[in-house]
Amino acid sequence: QPERSIKIDNQIDWSSLRAKIESVSSWNLEAFNTAKSLGYSSQELWNRTTEKQVRETTIAKLNDRFRNGDKSLGEYRMSRQVLALPRKKQKELFKEIQDFSDFTPENDPKGQHEMGQVTLDGVEYVWKIDYLDISMIMLSDAPEDINKTTRVLLVIRADEC
């Protein structure tokens, strides 16, 4: 496919693309050079990468907004043990969930801020956000779209898992 590579070289401003790629944390110069040497359209790779990042960033921002109290995005659900807590403790637990920011590649591999674990009075609690369609019957295929998705925040004690 040498002809394809030549055409791509003539169509793409490599220095501009290189600067864009280096500005994205998940890309580096080595990845850029590898993509270029394979003869793929780096513009196509760039578009796919940025689309995915934009989608995941949008989902993470919506999840953070929801977790921080915007109930227009969905509903909160609690296990029986969480419901059995006094109202004051429930508020403290949700404050811990709202304040949670310890997202790492290990506990948040997709970067969507959709789950976490907090401790209250020595008890571990797990929370997770699920994405359902508006009817809340099936999973949503577009969690980045608030017109197609209802979020459900589930909170349970870790020993209930």
**Per-residue model confidence as pLDDT tens digits over 21-67:** 566 655 566 665 665 555 555 566 566 667 778 888 899 999 999 99
Q: 35 and 43 in contact (C-beta within 8 Å)?
A: no
132: region left, alpha or beta (phi > 0 left; psi from -120 to 50 alpha) = beta
pLDDT at 101 over 80: yes
* CA-wise closest residue to 114 among 102, 97, 99, 129: 129
**Per-residue model confidence as pLDDT tens digits over 117-146:** 999 999 999 999 999 999 999 999 999 999
pTM of the model: 0.68
Q: Is 84 exposed, middle or buried (0-12, 13-18, 19+ CB in 10 A)?
A: exposed
